[in-house]
Amino acid sequence: MNNLSRRFLEELQQRVLVCDGAMGTVLYAKGIPINRCFEELNLIMPSVVKEVHESYHKAGAEIIETNTFSANPVRLESFGLREKCRDINAAGVRLARQVVGDKGWVAGAVGPLGVRLAPLGPCSPNQARAAFQEQMLALAEAGADLLMLETFQDLEEVAQAIAAARAVCDLPIVAQITIDDEGHLPAGTPPEDFTPRLTALKPDVLGCNCSVGPSVMLETIQRMASLTALPLSAQPNAGLPVNVSGRNIYLCSPDYMAGFIARFIQSGVKLAGGCCGTTADHVRAIAEAVRSVQPPRPKIGWTSVASKESDRSLPPLPVSDRSPLAAKLAAKKFVVLAEVIPSTGCDPSQEIEGAQYLAGNNVDAILVRDGSRSGARLSALVLAHLIQQRAGIETVLQYSCRDRNVIGIQSDLLGAHGLGLHNLLLITGGHLVTDSYPDATAVFDVDSVGLTKIVSSLNRGVDLGGKFLGSQTGFWVAISADPGAVNFEREMERITVKMQLGANCVITRPIFDIQNQERYLVAARELGIPVIAGVAPLTSLRHAEFFANELQIPVPESIMNRMRKAASGEAARQEGLRIAAEIVAWLEDRVQGVLITAPLGRYDSAIEVLSALRSRQKGSAAPEAAMQAAIQESAGRIKT
C-alpha cells in the first residue's frame, strides 16, 4: 500500500471525498461510437481520455477513476483485445496520474465481467477470480491508489472480485452495486439482505452506483446505513435516460443532484460522485455542495493552532461572568430563547419591533440567525447589535465560518465583542443557494471545530498565529447539534471535541420525535454540557413535511397525522402550537432551556408556546388551557 492509499483511508475517516463522473457519457458526446471499446482509447487516443480526466479534476473531483471499467480479459476478448489487457489498464492509470498527481487519488475502475457466473452462466467462480486478478494486478502495478468496483449486480461476482483484489494487492477497495427503482439488486435482493452479505466481504467502502437517479439511491443508502458500519459511497446517474431522436439523454440538472448531497452525507456517505449522464458541471455542483455541507479539513486546524499559542495567553474568564445568559445557565436556571432572522434590505425596524415584543414577554435572549446562505440580507452581527441597543434584550449571534477566511473571522469576532455581543452560536454554514448568484462560490478556511478553537484562542487573548493581543474576549460559546443525526457516535464525538476546545452549551435543531431523543439528551447530560433544545411550532402539514424531507429532521408519523387532520390556516397553526407546547412540557425537566422559532416571522406564536410553559412552571394551568389563553390575549398583537 503506497502513501496515497494510506492517506485515502485516513481522509475517509475525516471528511467526504468527491469522485468524478461518467466517462462513457462524455466520450460519446465527443463523437466516439458507442459500439467501440472505450478502454482502447487509453492506447490510441490518450489525449481524449486525459481531457475528460482534466475536466473532472478542475471541477473539484479528488478521486479520478481510470478508463478501465470494461478492461478485464473477458470483455476485451469480445473486441479482439485480450492480449492488450495489461497495457490498457496500465495506460489508464498513467493517464489519470498525469492529471491528479499527488493532489488526489487514482482509482482503478473495475466493472463486471459481462457474463453470468455458474450455475446460471458459463463462467465458473475460479475463472471469474482469475480474470479479475489479471486486471487488478495490472492496475496495482501501474500505481493505482485504490480499486473501485462498480455496477455489480451479482453478489457472487462481487465476492470473487474482492477476493481477487485481496490476492494480488493490499489497495483499499470500494465495492459498489447497482440497484433497480425499488432499491433492490436486479435479481430482487433487497438492501436488508445484500448489505450484511457485502459487509461480511470486508471492503473498505460499500455503496451504489449507476442505474438510478439520486432520489432512489438516497432511499437505498438510508436503508443500508442502519445495517453496516462501513463508510458508504453514492454515485447516481443524472436521473433516468430519456430517448430523444434515438439517443439516451439524462435530464437531471447539476443543481438537482447537488441538492441531495446533504442528505447523502447525513446518511453516512463518505464518497460522492456521479455515474451515467453526469458531466464536469454535475461534479462541480457536487463538490461545491460537499464543501458547503461538510467542508474539507480546515487549512488551519485547531490542532495546529494549539501548538502555536503564546505562553502569554490569559486564563479564560469564568463562564458565569461572560454574559447575563451565561450567568443564568451557570445558576441552573431554565432559559427561553426566541429567534429573529434578518430580513432582506437595510431596514431593521421590523426585527427590532419583534425583539421588543419578545423582550416584553419574558424571553431571556434573542438568537439572531446568520442568513448568509440566502442572498442579500442585513448582517446578523449588525442586527444583533441594534437589537441589544434599541430593544434592550440580550442577543446570541449565530456566526457561520462559511464565506469568511480566518483573518476576517477574527476581525468580525473582535468587533462583535467590542460592540457588546458576548454570546455566540458557532456553525459551519449551510449549502450555498446560487439561484440569484450563479457565479458565487463558498469559502471555507475552517469548519465549526476550527471556529470553536479560534474563539477559544481569543478568549485567552491570543490570535490564530499565537500573537498576544493585550486583552481577551469573554465569549459564551454555544455549538449547534443534531439530536437526530444518523451517525450518533460521530455527532457525540464532535461535541466532545468542541467542549474540550471551550464550548459552553449545545443548542439543538428542532426536536419533534421526543421518544427517540432521550438517548441524545442522556448522553449530553453525561458530558456535563447544558442543552438548549430547539422547538418549532408547525403551521401546516406542508411545514411538517419540509422539516422531515428537506431538512432531514425526524418528524414522527403521529405528528404528521395530527397536522394532516387539522384544517388549513389558523386551525392548523393552533394544532402546531399545541404540539409545540407538549414538546416543551416533555423537555422542561430534561434540558436547561428552549429555543422557540417564530414561523414565518410570527413572534406571537413563540409567545403563545412560552405562555404555556410559564403557566406550567407556576402550576396555574395546564399547557392546553394556558396556550389557548395566550392565543386569545395575543389576538391583534404584533404579527410581523
pLDDT of residue 375: 62
pLDDT at 270 over 60: yes
119 vs 205: which has the higher pLDDT? 205
Whether pTM > 0.85 for this model: the answer is no
Statement: residue 306 has pLDDT above 50: no
Distance CA 308, CA 304 (A): 7
Torsion angle in degrees (nearest 10) through CA of 170, 231, 274, 264: -170
Is the pLDDT reported for residue 469 higher than 80?
yes
At 510, list the grid cell: 428542532
Confidence label for 128 from pLDDT (cuts 50, 70 and 90) = very high
Contacts of 443 (CB under 8 A, 6+ apart): 402, 403, 404, 405
Average pLDDT, the chain: 86
Residues 472/314, Cβ–Cβ less than 8 Å: yes
Q: What is the pLDDT of residue 444?
A: 55
Instruction: Kindly tell me if the per-residue pLDDT of 510 is higher than 90.
Output: yes
pLDDT number for residue 485: 78
Given this model, what pLDDT does residue 404 score?
80
- pLDDT value, residue 242: 45
| Distances from the Cα of 273 to the Cα of 221, 296, 347, 403, angstroms | 14, 15, 42, 24
pLDDT at 252: 67
Residue range 585-634, pLDDT digits in tens: 999 989 999 999 988 788 888 888 888 777 766 664 444 444 444 444 44
Q: What's the DSSP call for residue 240?
A: S
Residue pLDDT, tens place only, 61-94: 999 999 999 999 999 999 999 999 999 999 999 9
What is the average pLDDT across 172-183? 94
**Cα dihedral sign, 572-578-582-585:** positive
Which tens digit of pLDDT belongs to each residue from 551-565? 788 899 999 999 999
Give the percent of the chain with pLDDT over 90.
Answer: 59
Of residues 36 and 87, more confidence is placed in 87
Q: What is the mean pLDDT of residues 179-185?
A: 91
Predicted pLDDT at 140? 96
Least confident of 24-38, 169-183, 307-321, 386-400: 307-321
- For the chain, state the CA radius of gyration: 27
For each of the domains in the chain, give its residue range(s) and CATH number, in order of start: 3-293 (3.20.20.330), 316-634 (3.20.20.220)
- Residue 210, pLDDT score: 87
Model confidence pLDDT, tens digit, residues 243-267: 434 444 445 678 778 888 888 988 8
At residue 448 the predicted structure's pLDDT band, cuts being 50, 70 and 90, is confident
Q: What is the pLDDT of residue 323?
A: 96
pLDDT exceeds cutoff 90 at 420: yes
Range from 157-171, 282-296, 519-533 carrying the lowest mean pLDDT? 282-296
Confidence of residue 320 (pLDDT cuts 50, 70, 90): very high
Alpha-carbon torsion (500, 504, 510, 511), positive or negative:
positive
303 pLDDT exceeds 60? Answer: no
The count of C-alpha atoms lying within 13 angstroms of the C-alpha of 613, restricted to the half-sphere facing its C-beta, is 29
Give me the percent of the chain exceeding a pLDDT of 70.
Answer: 88
Q: Are 276 and 241 in contact (CB under 8 A)?
A: yes
Question: What pLDDT does 424 receive?
Answer: 96
For residue 69, give the amino acid letter.
F
pLDDT digits (tens, 9 = 90+) for 540-549: 999 999 888 8
